[in-house]
Amino acid sequence: MLNIKNLRDDFENIKIALGKRGYEINQKIFEELDIERKTLQIEVENLQSERNKFSADFGELKSTGKDTSDLKKTIDKINAELDKKSIKLNTILENINNFLLDIPNIPDNSVPNGKDEKDNIVVKTFGEVSSKNTKDHLEITNMIDTETASKISGSRFSVLKGDMAKLQRALISFMIDKAIQNGYEEYYVPFMANTDSLIGTGQLPKFKDDLFQTTENLYLIPTAEVPLTNIYRGELIDEDALPIKLTSHTPCFRSEAGSYGKDTKGLIRQHQFEKVELVQITNPADSMNCLNSLLKHACEILNDLKLPYQVIELCSGDLGFSSCKTFDIEVWMPSQNKYREISSCSNFSDFQARRSNIKYKSKNGKDFAHTINGSGLAVGRTLIAILENYYEGGSTMKLPKCLESYFGSDTLKL
């Protein structure tokens, strides 16, 4: 959420910054709401002052035994008017809040300008891409069973069995251990979150259609970013405790609204998938350094797995709703002859912290913290990348050396 004071003081520059990401803010609506808010606030404050004055007079009259009936009528009339104005003011404040909740974050000045993904910039590549294998993961192994999953749940689910299930478990343990080595504290979190939590991290109200709602106030989490960040919702953190680094493995649930017809085969785009998430809550002065460190931690996993990948910096027009700066990590998929996203590492500045009321306390007072997160990594896509990049034919394949102790063998049965 943007600082409303900045909108009042510097609307034109904010409008220009939001325009870089393709968002057109409605100045007329904001100004009309804010003028009405200011008018009602003054009226409410004046009525409260009047009531206080007459209430004091009422007390004095009553203490001397004098007639208070006329004064009581005046106070009752003021109270009725105050109630009416307060209801109107609360409605306007709610409308302003809803207006603010719809506005995306402002891109950082360092973000390259651009309209869409075509304008993103490759900033790093690792490893040599190979086109020797043209088989996709479903052709390589029969232990990824989408037909049985469809019988159980419908499309965009999968059943992993045998060594595929074991490999997924090995990858999760490997990723969590890497996160802990890099200073993240492991959490086990709920797989459902309430409305306030999803508003705090920016999924609600704008992306409700992408979520699976279970009850009126509960949703299946789309990412562990939601529960991990909301651990500190409404908290005041001592500056010396920053940065706070958290990690968790969870299933993630997304309806993939509007994506039907895209990547419907296999594990690329599913309603349920596994992810290890990295979250940092940081001092604003250090948040870009923390973003770079989180990006490095995610890349380390692919380095150890010896999987070819590239890091791209997103342009302003391709940024996610809550992000002010994002780097995507894309792993090479031989069967598709292209890189596919496996992690997205973002700095949200104070956008989520303002929505979630996450503050830190320093010698200069209290201020909103910055939040950062990224996948470390998406487990299913990592599994696919290993299958496609390491497969050399036959019914078995060698695993990356770093997984041997987790898997219990250096060979995977296909």
Residue 157 pLDDT greater than 60, yes or no: yes
Q: Please report, as a single letter, which amino acid is at residue 103.
A: I
Residue 326 pLDDT greater than 60, yes or no: yes
* Same domain, yes or no: 125 and 221: yes
Residue range 165-195, pLDDT digits in tens? 999 999 999 999 999 999 999 999 999 999 9
Instruction: Answer yes or no: is 326 within a domain.
Output: yes
* Same domain, yes or no: 158 and 271: yes
* Same domain, yes or no: 96 and 123: no
Cα distance between residue 276 and residue 273, in whole Å: 10
Instruction: Answer yes or no: is 85 within a domain.
Output: yes
* Same domain, yes or no: 92 and 220: no
Instruction: Answer yes or no: is 205 within a domain.
Output: yes
Instruction: Answer yes or no: is 252 within a domain.
Output: yes
The enclosing domain of 74 has a CATH number of 1.10.287.40
* Same domain, yes or no: 330 and 374: yes
Cα distance between residue 144 and residue 159, in whole Å: 6
* Same domain, yes or no: 307 and 365: yes
Cα distance between residue 339 and residue 169, in whole Å: 24
If you average pLDDT over residues 95-108, what whole number do you get?
A: 97
Cα distance between residue 366 and residue 284, in whole Å: 12
Residue 153 DSSP label: T
Query: What is this structure's pTM?
Result: 0.93
Tally the domains of the chain. 2
Distances (CA, A) of 100 to 22, 103, 246: 16, 5, 28
* Same domain, yes or no: 133 and 280: yes
The H or E element containing residue 385 is: helix 379-390
Final residue of a structural domain among 73, 101, 129: 101
Q: Tokens 């469809």 identify what position?
A: 150
Residue range 218-255, pLDDT digits in tens? 999 999 999 999 999 999 999 999 999 999 999 999 99
Residue whose C-alpha is closest to residue 143's, from 122, 116, 163 = 163
CA 1, 225, 228, 95: dihedral to nearest 10 degrees?
30
Distances (CA, A) of 170 to 42, 397, 409, 410: 62, 16, 11, 12
Percent of the chain whose predicted confidence (pLDDT) is above 70 = 97
Instruction: Answer yes or no: is 108 within a domain.
Output: no
| DSSP-based three-state secondary structure for 402 | helix
Residue range 28-76, pLDDT digits in tens? 999 999 999 999 999 999 999 999 998 888 888 888 888 888 888 999 9
Distances (CA, A) of 228 to 74, 129, 192, 201, 246: 53, 35, 12, 10, 7
Concatenated DSSP letters of 82-134? HHHHHHHHHHHHHHHHHHHHTSPPPPPTTSPP-SSGGG-EEEEEES----S--
Residue 213 DSSP label: B
The enclosing domain of 300 has a CATH number of 3.30.930.10
Cα distance between residue 349 and residue 331, in whole Å: 27
Residue 43: give the domain boundaries.
Answer: 26-101
Strand pairing report for 236-238 and 359-362:
parallel
What is residue 259's predicted lDDT score, i.e. its pLDDT? 55
Final residue of a structural domain among 101, 128, 152: 101
Question: Phi and psi for 174 in degrees, rounded to 5?
Answer: -60, -45
Final residue of a structural domain among 101, 126, 153: 101
Residue range 115-142, pLDDT digits in tens? 999 999 999 999 998 767 778 999 999 9
Average pLDDT along the chain: 95
If you average pLDDT over residues 290-308, what whole number do you get?
A: 98
* Same domain, yes or no: 297 and 349: yes
* Same domain, yes or no: 191 and 306: yes
* Same domain, yes or no: 77 and 221: no
What is residue 257's predicted lDDT score, i.e. its pLDDT? 63
- pLDDT tier at 396, thresholds 50, 70, 90: very high
Instruction: Answer yes or no: is 376 within a domain.
Output: yes
* Same domain, yes or no: 259 and 287: yes
Residue whose C-alpha is closest to residue 374's, from 302, 280, 244 = 280
Instruction: Answer yes or no: is 18 within a domain.
Output: no
Residue range 241-298, pLDDT digits in tens? 999 999 999 999 999 765 555 565 677 889 999 999 999 999 999 999 999 999 999 9
Instruction: Answer yes or no: is 149 within a domain.
Output: yes
* Same domain, yes or no: 202 and 161: yes
